[in-house]
Structure 1
Amino acid sequence: MVEALTTTIQVASLILAGWCLISTFRDQPMVVPHLVAAGVLWLLVIAQAVVSGVLMARGEGPAELAVFISYLVTIVLIPPACAVWGFIERSRWGPAAIAFACVVLPVMMVRLEQIWDPVRV
């Protein structure tokens, strides 16, 4: 895993969560910029998944491969699932669905790092 990419995902995710929570508290529905930001976050997560896959193909990687892959697949699926959920929910709770995903992602990224290199973390 690339630590700089992991940190970027975590920071971007928390910024998007804050923005979406502000929209929720202001009673605003989800708008296109929310979707675009969620899409950018999703691309970052996909990039991390591709990099991790390449490193695993080279022989590097975690001892608990099945657990790592299950976390990785879940992380890749969370942003689009919550974006669709937020898009369908046309009330103030649409941005809250994206904020939920953006709060979960940093926690799961920390867990991925722990699985990848348990000695260092």
Structure 2
Amino acid sequence: MVEALTTTIQTASLILAGWCLVSTFRDRPMLVPHLVAVGVLWLLVIAQAVVSAVLMSGGEGPAQTLMFVSYLVFIVLIPPACAVWGFVERSRWGPAVIAFACLILPVMLVRLEQIWNPAGV
């Protein structure tokens, strides 16, 4: 895993969560800019997944490969799933769904780093 990319994803995710929480408190539905931001976040997550897969194919990687891959797949599925759910929910709770998902991502990425490098914990 690339630590700088992980930090970028975590930061972007927390910023998006804050923006979506503000939209929720202002009683605004999810709009196209929210979708664009989730799309950018998803691209960052996909980039991390591709880099991790390349590193694993090169011989690097965690001892618990199956658990790492399952976490990685789940993380890649979170942004599009929350985007669809948030867009379908045309009330103020649409951005709340995005905010919740964006608060889950940093925690999941920390767990991925723990699995990747257990000595660095």
The one-letter amino acid paired with 2:104 is V
Partner of 2:89: 89
CA distance in 2, matches of 1:120, 1:105: 20
Q: What runs of 5+ residues in structure 1 fail to find an aligned partner?
A: none
The one-letter amino acid paired with 1:42 is W
Partner of 2:98: 98
Note the C-alpha offset of 1:6.
Answer: 0.1
CA distance in 2, matches of 1:18, 1:100: 10
The one-letter amino acid paired with 1:106 is P
Q: SS where residue 118 of structure 2 aligns?
A: coil
CA distance in 1, matches of 2:97, 2:88: 10
CA distance in 2, matches of 1:112, 1:75: 10
CA distance in 1, matches of 2:77, 2:100: 13
Note the C-alpha offset of 1:119.
Answer: 0.2
Note the C-alpha offset of 1:35.
Answer: 0.2
Note the C-alpha offset of 1:87.
Answer: 0.4
Aligned length: 121
Note the C-alpha offset of 1:9.
Answer: 0.2
Q: SS where residue 119 of structure 1 aligns?
A: helix
Partner of 1:120: 120
Note the C-alpha offset of 1:18.
Answer: 0.1
CA distance in 1, matches of 2:54, 2:75: 17
The one-letter amino acid paired with 2:82 is C
Q: Percent sequence identity over matched residues?
A: 82
CA distance in 2, matches of 1:118, 1:91: 42
Partner of 1:110: 110
Partner of 2:2: 2
CA distance in 2, matches of 1:7, 1:63: 23
**Deviation beyond 6 Å, 4+ runs, structure 1:** none
Partner of 1:11: 11
For normalisation by structure 2, the TM-score amounts to 0.99
Q: What runs of 5+ residues in structure 2 fail to find an aligned partner?
A: none
CA distance in 2, matches of 1:77, 1:97: 14
Note the C-alpha offset of 1:21.
Answer: 0.2
Deviations, residues 27-52 of structure 1 (Å, cap 9, x unaligned): 00000000000000000000000000
Aligned residue runs from structure 1 range 1-121, under 5 A: 1-121=1-121
